[in-house]
Amino acid sequence: DQQVKQNSPSLSVQEGRISILNCDYTNSMFDYFLWYKKYPAEGPTFLISISSIKDKNEDGRFTVFLNKSAKHLSLHIVPSQPGDSAVYFCAAGDGAQKLVFGQGTRLTINP
């Protein structure tokens, strides 16, 4: 049972435009959500997170939106830059330090 799903395996966006990555979850016990970014041959690095008591968190060019009723979160990157090209994982936790990850979305920013 895939509790966290990223239905788009890849996304291609033009430099300077907005990138929107989506993630759905099924477990209503999740109370914390995170986005990780992964370059080839490197481990995932933490990007941004949001608690279930919020519906938006912003950090520079990155904004995460949470819609609890729809069990959906999204990551917006604006403006997109070539260095943003990577695989993005969403993850969810229930406070127990263990994270459940989605399958990842490969984002390619085209010049």
Partner 1 sequence: SAVISQKPSRDICQRGTSLTIQCQVDSQVTMMFWYRQQPGQSLTLIATANQGSEATYESGFVIDKFPISRPNLTFSTLTVSNMSPEDSSIYLCSVDWGRGANVLTFGAGSRLTVL
Containing H/E element for 76?
strand 72-77
| Contact range with partner 1 by CB under 8 A, out of 10-18, 21-29, 76-84, 85-93 | 85-93
Q: Which stretch binds partner 1 (CB under 8 A): 11-19, 62-70, 76-84, 87-95?
A: 87-95
Which residues, including other chains, have CB under 8 Å from residue 86's CB and lie 6 or more apart? Answer: 37, 38, 39, 106, 107
Query: Site for partner 1 (CB under 8 A): how many residues?
Result: 26
Asked if 83 touches partner 1 (CB under 8 A), the answer is: no
Nearest CA to 71 out of 8, 26, 16 is that of 26
Cβ 9 vs Cβ 103: under 8 Å: yes
Residue whose CB is less far from partner 1, 98 or 111: 98
What single letter denotes the amino acid at residue 37? K
Interaction with partner 1 in 23-82: which residues (CB under 8 A)? 32, 34, 36, 41-46, 49, 51
> In angstroms, what is the minimal distance from the CB of 101 to partner 1?
4
Peptide bond into 79 cis (omega under 30): yes
Q: Which residues bind partner 1 (CB under 8 A)?
A: 2, 4, 9, 32, 34, 36, 41-46, 49, 51, 89, 91, 93, 95, 97-104
